[in-house]
Chains A and B, each alone.
Chain A
C-alpha cells in the first residue's frame, strides 16, 4: 500500500507532486503526498509517528526485522524537507519506536538527523512510545507546543480539540469503486483539528472508521486526504468504506 513511498525512500528523488491546500482552525496548510503537513505562513513542516529504529527495537527482542527502516524514513524526511526548506520542523511524537531507540541509534543515522536539522528549529514532541524525549540529538523535546492558534501534541485530546494537530492514531481510509477497494494512509481533518498520517515506513494504519477515532471529528465536515502516488486524493468521510 505504500510501495511508492518506499521506492522514493530508496531512490532519494521525488518528482512533481500535488498537495491538498486546506485550512486547520483558520491556518493555511498543505497536505503533502509523502505524508507531511506544511504550514506556509509559519514556514513549519510537521511529520508524525516516525517510529525510527523500529527494526532495531524488534531485533532486541529476537526478531531481526530489516535494519533499513530508519534509513528509509530519514530519506523520505530528507526529500520533504528539501522541498519546503522549512524554518521549523515538528516531529509529533513516537519519533522512536521505543524508549531506548534514540540512545542506541547507530552514529550514521544520528549524523543524518544532524544534517537535516542544521539551521532549523527542530521540535521533538514526546509520544507514548518515547515519553522520555530524545538522547543526544539536535532540537528540543516537549510534550506540547502552541504556535499561532494551533496546538501540537502526540495524542488527540477528546476535550480540547480546537486547533489541534496530532498523530498517534495512524489514520488510513478505504475507498471503493467498481467493486475494487483501495486503502491508504490519510490526513484526517474536519477543519477544526487534524490528525496526521504516520510517516515512518514500518508503520501500519488504523481505519478512520475504527472506534478509536470516535468522538474526535465532526463527521459531516470530515475529509480524508489519502496519500496517492504523486497527489493527494480528498474524499468525504461519508464516501469511505469501512
Chain B
C-alpha cells in the first residue's frame, strides 16, 4: 500500500529522537502510528535536505509537511515574554486562499491537542489590515499564505528582519503552482527568501506526477557555485497511489447532446446518485457550468437535500460558509469548480461526480482523490460526458487505464512580465545592485537560463519603459544611485507597486449587484452584492440578456461605475454563454486514443447506442478517418460554404490553426468569413465554395496544411491576432506598464483610460522588437496558441489529408457547427462586413 523506498529500520534515529514526547503521546492516544513517509521526510528534512513529497490525497501529506517545523518548534519551546524580536519560523505557501484557511483549521487541531507551543496564523488578501500590521511586529511561528502575499512581504523594507529566522518553506500543491506565472513569481520570492535566510529548507508537497525531476530542481537554488558541483535536486519521498479508483461512465436513457459542456440531460441521474450517497462532490470545469448544474439540481430537489455551490467568483463569506458546512458534514452535495480542486480536506465524501470529459489525467485523478480519504479503500467516481465526443473521450480514458498514467506539468521558462514586476518589488524593498540581483534571480529554476542582456533590458523597462526613443528619463520609476544601486524614485512608486502586484489578470472582474426596478422602470442603487463576474463575459451582453450567477437567473441591466447591475429575471431560461465549456484542452494522449476508437468499429460496442448510431451514420454519409488521417469535409449551408477539419488536437491548437488557415484561404480567394473550434474539430466558413476549389485543384489541401504555415504566416498573424492582444494586455498589466489600480483612484479594468489594444498597435508599428512584445509572443506561443502541438500534427498528417465534398452537413460536423457563435473576424472579411452593411443602406435608399 504505502510504497516507500526506505523503512523505519533504515533510520539510525529511534522514534523518540525523531518525535518529541507530546507527538508520541498524541499518536498513542489516537491509536495511530506515524506513517513511514512522514518519518522519512522528517528525518531527511531535519538533517538539512530540501525535500519533495509526492503522495496521493489522504496519505497525510499536510502533517508530513509540517512535522519538521512542529518538532523543531516544540524543542525550542515557548518564547519567554520580553524576548527580542523573532522572525517567522515556517512559511506555508498555497495556491488558494481557501486552502491556507483550511490548513490553519486542520493544523490547529493536533497542535492544540498536543498542547504545542506553536502559533499559527494565515495571511491572505482577506486578512484585515490591523492583523497584518500586528503580524509584522509580532510574527507567528508558522505563517500560512499565498504567493502574492509573499511578494508583498518581500517588497517591504522590513523583509529581512521578518524572514531572517526562517527555517522551513512548505509549498503545497507544488505541481499546480509551478506551471503558472504565479509559480514564476513564487520561485523569485523563494530566491529572495534564501538571501534573507541562507539555511532555509524547502518542503514541496505534490500530487503524483510522472517525472518529478523538474519539481525537485525547482525546490533548490540553481546556478549557485558550490564546492562540490551543482546543488543536488531536492530529496524525494514518493508514496505510491492507494487502491485503484472505481470509475464508471454515467449511462442514462436520456438523449446525449451533440455539443455543449453542461450535461443537463444527466441531471436527474446525478440527483439519484446524490440521494444514494452520503456526500457527493460534483466537479465541473467552469463557474458557468457550476451555476447551471446547481440551478438544475435545485429545480428537481424534491427532498430538499442540502446542496451547495462553490466557485471562485462567489462572495468570500458565502464560500467560507459552504466550506464550514462541508467539513461539518452538513451537506449532501457541493457543485464546485477548481476552487475546490486542491488539497482541501473535507468530511465524508463518498462519491465524486465529474461533469465533462477528463481532458487530462492529473486533473481527474486529483478530483477523484477528493472522495474517500482513507487511501486504502478505492475512491468512487462517475464521469458524466456532456456531449457525444466526450462519451468517446471518457471511454478512451478508461479503456487505456489512463488514470494510472500521469501528465507531467511543464514548468516552463520564467515569464518576463513577472520578472519585471519582481524587479520593481525588489527596488521597493531596498536599493539593489544589478549583478547581485541577477545572481539571485538566476538561482530560481524558471529563470536559470536568463541572460544578463535580457535582465538588463528588463531593468531598463522597469525604469523608463525600455524604449529605443529615450524621452522618459526624467520620469524614471527606478534610478541608479551614486553607489550604483537601483532605488525607487519616490514612495508613490512603491505604493503603486503594492496596489498592482499579482499575476492573475485574465479576469477583469466587476462586482455583480442585485438591484430592483421601480414602477417607472428605472433601476435603483442599493442591493445585495452577489460576487464578481468577468468583464469580458459582460461585454457580450446587452441590456435584458439573462444569465446564471450565484444560483440565480439574472437580468443584465447595465454597468454603472464599476458595478454590474442585475435584477431578478424570474425566468428559467437563461442565456448561457457560448464559451462556457472546459478551458483545459484535450491532452495529446487522449486525443490519440479518441482517434483510435473512432477508426475501430470493433471497439464501439461499449459506447451508448446513440453514440454508436451517430458514428455509423457518419460512416454511411461521409466517412470515418483512419487513426493517422486528417478528414476534411466541405459542404454548403445557408449562404455560406463550410470546411470542417477533424484534427483532435484540442481547442487551443485548433484556434491557432483556424487563424492560419483563414489567412491562407483569404490569399487563395476563398473569402473566409470566420471559424469556430472545439476540442475535436475546426469549422471554417467562407463566401466562396472551398469544396469546389479543392475538387478543381484551385486549392491544394497539401499546400493548405503545409507545415510552412508556422513560419511567415504565423509571424504575420501573430502581429494582428486578437489573442495576442489579450496576451499583451496581461503582460502589460503584470509587468506594470498599465496599472490596474492607481492610488486614490480605484480603477477597474473598464476604467483604464487607455486601451491596451491601441498601445499594442502603436508599439508594434514603431518598436516591434520591444521587450513587452517579445514577452507577449513567448507567452502566446507557449500557452494560448499551442504551437508545439499544432506543429506535431501538421508533420503527422502530411500526405494523409482526405477531402470529402458533401451536399450537406455531416453527423460528425454537428458538434462543432453548433458552437458557431461570436468569434471575431480577421483581415479582409472585416471590410466585407462593413461593405454589406453599407450596401443595405444603398438598397434602402434605392427602394
**Interface residue ranges, A against B (CB under 8 Å):** 1-3, 6-7, 9-10, 54-56, 58-69, 71-72, 106, 175-182, 184, 201-204, 223, 226, 228-229, 233-236, 239, 242
Chain B residue nearest to A54 (CB atoms) is B754
Among all A-B residue pairs, the 5 with the closest Cβ atoms:
A64-B465, A68-B766, A175-B837, A10-B765, A233-B834
Tell me the minimal C-beta distance from B541 to chain A in angstroms: 12
Residue among B472, B639, B831 making CB contact with A64, cutoff 8 Å: B472
Known: A64-B464, A235-B838. A72 touches B833 (CB 8 A): no
- Give residues 787-809 of B contacting A (CB, 8 Å): none
Contact yes or no, A178 B640, CB < 8 A: yes
What are the interface flags for B471-482 relative to A under an 8 Å C-beta threshold, 1 for contact and 0 otherwise?
Answer: 110010100000
Complex-state Cα separation, A6 to B764, whole angstroms: 9
Known: A6-B762, A235-B841. A228 touches B477 (CB 8 A): no
Q: Which residues of A contact B492 (CB under 8 A)?
A: 62
Known: A58-B754, A202-B754. A65 touches B759 (CB 8 A): yes
B26 within 8 A of A: no
Contact yes or no, A177 B837, CB < 8 A: yes
Contact yes or no, B640 A235, CB < 8 A: no
Stretch with Cβ within 8 A of A (4 or more), from B211-219, B271-279, B566-574, B737-745: B737-745
Chain B residue nearest to A226 (CB atoms) is B834
Complex-state Cα separation, A84 to B480, whole angstroms: 49
Q: List 30 A-B contacts (CB under 8 A).
A: A2-B761, A9-B765, A10-B765, A56-B472, A56-B475, A58-B754, A59-B464, A62-B492, A62-B493, A63-B737, A64-B737, A65-B465, A66-B759, A66-B766, A66-B767, A68-B762, A68-B763, A68-B766, A175-B834, A177-B833, A178-B673, A178-B836, A179-B821, A182-B825, A182-B834, A202-B762, A203-B758, A233-B837, A239-B840, A239-B841
Inter-chain contact total with CB atoms closer than 8 Å: 140
Q: Which residues of B contact A181 (CB under 8 A)?
A: 822, 824, 833
Contact yes or no, A182 B469, CB < 8 A: no
Tell me the minimal C-beta distance from B480 to chain A in angstroms: 17
Q: Which residues of A contact B231 (CB under 8 A)?
A: none
Contact yes or no, A202 B759, CB < 8 A: yes
Main DSSP-derived SS at the A contact region: mixed
17 more contacts with CB within 8 A, not counting A62-B496, A201-B761, A234-B841, are A59-B465, A61-B742, A64-B461, A64-B465, A64-B477, A67-B467, A68-B469, A71-B766, A178-B836, A179-B674, A180-B822, A180-B829, A201-B758, A204-B755, A235-B837, A235-B838, A236-B844
Q: Which residues of A contact B759 (CB under 8 A)?
A: 65-66, 202
Q: Which residues of A contact B834 (CB under 8 A)?
A: 175, 182, 184, 226, 228, 233
Chain B residue nearest to A69 (CB atoms) is B762
Complex-state Cα separation, A57 to B464, whole angstroms: 13
Q: Which residues of A contact B477 (CB under 8 A)?
A: 62, 64
Q: Which residues of A contact B5 (CB under 8 A)?
A: none
Contact yes or no, A234 B838, CB < 8 A: yes
Complex-state Cα separation, A60 to B673, whole angstroms: 43
Tell me the minimal C-beta distance from A239 to chain B in angstroms: 6
Residue among B475, B742, B754, B832 making CB contact with A60, cutoff 8 Å: B475
Q: Which residues of A contact B674 (CB under 8 A)?
A: 178-180
Contact yes or no, B763 A1, CB < 8 A: no
Q: Which residues of B contact A65 (CB under 8 A)?
A: 465, 737-738, 754, 759
Chain B residue nearest to A70 (CB atoms) is B471
Q: Which residues of A contact B464 (CB under 8 A)?
A: 59, 64
B820 within 8 A of A: yes
Q: Which residues of A contact B506 (CB under 8 A)?
A: none
Tell me the minimal C-beta distance from B508 to chain A in angstroms: 15
What are the interface flags for B647-661 relative to A under an 8 Å C-beta threshold, 1 for contact and 0 otherwise?
Answer: 000000000000000
Residue among B739, B838, B840 making CB contact with A63, cutoff 8 Å: B739
Contact yes or no, B835 A233, CB < 8 A: yes
B746 within 8 A of A: no
Complex-state Cα separation, A68 to B742, whole angstroms: 23
